[in-house]
Amino acid sequence: MNLEEMEGEEIMVCDYDAIFRGKFNFKLYDQVAKFFELIVVNFPGRVEDLMDSLISGAYSVVLNADENQETITRMLEVSENIILPAKSLNLSFFLNNGGKFVISERALPYRFRKCYIVGPEVKGDNYVNVMNFPENLLQYI
């Protein structure tokens, strides 16, 4: 799609190369970030990958649900604009230690600033319904 013709303030990009091969598309982030606030689903496992994603234009980055508490803490020290999948066993830890953003398939009983919904539509002030999220990535959310 032509980015100049798209509407909205935010766009979510799922970086399959990063998720499945550890090869981040930083150039793409830079190009898309010129038009939108860019949310990148790339599951960085290292702080350096998170920093490179942010430097390359990502406004927010989605972490892997399997991240441990130590990695989550280090990531939160770099940026508060990280998003944790709701299926994470460390979701409560994340939210209690400065995490504010979540991605989920359904409404959640937690306090957060914003929840990106990738399943059926949810209404509410703190929910953002994501259109066309790839079905094959739902298992990670």
What pLDDT does 7 receive?
A: 73
Q: Residue 96: which CATH number? A: 3.20.20.70
Domain range enclosing 121: 3-140
* pLDDT tens profile 74-111: 999 999 999 999 999 999 999 999 999 999 999 999 99
> How many domains would you assign to the chain?
1
Q: Is the pLDDT of residue 59 over 70?
A: yes
Mean pLDDT of the chain: 95
- How long, in residues, is the chain? 141
pTM for the structure as a whole: 0.94
Banded model confidence at residue 4, pLDDT cuts 50, 70, 90: low
Banded model confidence at residue 9, pLDDT cuts 50, 70, 90: confident
Distances (CA, A) of 20 to 15, 28, 32, 64, 123: 9, 17, 21, 12, 32
